Structure 1
Amino acid sequence: MHCLFGLVLGQKDLSRAGDLFSLDDSEIEGCLSEALEQIKVISSSPDYQTNDNDQAVVEICITRITTAIRETESIEKHGKALIALWESCLEYNLKPSGKDEDTPHAKIASDIMSCILQNYNRPPIMALAVPVAVKFLQRGNKELCRNMSSYLSLAAISKVDLLAEHTGTIVKSVLQGSLSIERLCC
Structure 2
Amino acid sequence: MHQLFSQVLGQRDLSRAGDLFSLEDGEIEDCLSQALDHIKAISCSPDYLTNDNDQAVVEICIMRITTAIRETGSIERHSTALVGLWESCLEHKLTPQGENTEDTPHAKIASDITSCILQNYSCPSVMVLAVPVAVRFLLRGNRELSRNMSSYLSLAAIAKADLLAEHTEAITLSVLGVFYPFISDSMQCLSSPLLCLL
TM > 0.5 fold call:
yes
Alignment of 1:90-101 (within 5 A): 90-97=90-97, 98-101=99-102
What TM-score do you get using the length of structure 2 for normalisation? 0.89
Alignment of 1:34-49 (within 5 A): 34-49=34-49
Counterpart-to-counterpart distance in 2, 1:177 and 1:102: 19
* Local SS of the residue matching 1:120: coil
CA-to-aligned-CA distance 1:87-128 (integer Å, 9 cap, x gap): 000000000242210000000000001100000010110011
RMSD in angstroms over aligned alpha carbons? 0.9
- Give a deviation string over 1:109-163, Cα, whole Å, max 9, x none: 0000110000001011001100000000011100000011001011011001110
Q: Share of identical aligned residues, percent?
A: 74
The residue that corresponds to 1:156 in the other structure is 157
CA drift at 1:177: 2.0
Question: How many residue pairs align between the two structures?
Answer: 179
Paired AA for residue 49 in structure 1: L
Supply the distance in 1 between the matched residues of 2:42 and 2:89 (Cα, whole angstroms).
12
Letter in 2 for 1:167: T
Note the alpha carbon deviations across 1:32-78, whole angstroms, 9 max, x for none. Answer: 00000000000000000010000000000000000000000000000
- Provide the residue aligned with 2:26 in structure 1: 26
Q: Which runs of 4+ in 1 moved over 4 A?
A: none
How far 1:24 sits from its partner (Å)?
0.1
Give the aligned partner of residue 146 of structure 2: 145
| 1-structure distance, mates of 2:115, 2:12 | 25
**Paired position in structure 2 for 1:183:** none
Letter of the 1:68 counterpart: A
- Aligned-partner Cα distance in 2 for 1:38–1:66: 15
Q: Does 1:134 align with 2:135?
A: yes
SS in 2 for 1:99: coil
> Residue in 2 aligned with 1:50?
50
Structure with bigger gyration radius: 2
* Unaligned ranges ≥5, structure 2: 181-198
Q: Name stretches of at least 5 consecutive residues in structure 1 with no aligned partner.
A: 180-186
Whole-angstrom distance in 2 between the partners of 1:24 and 1:178: 46
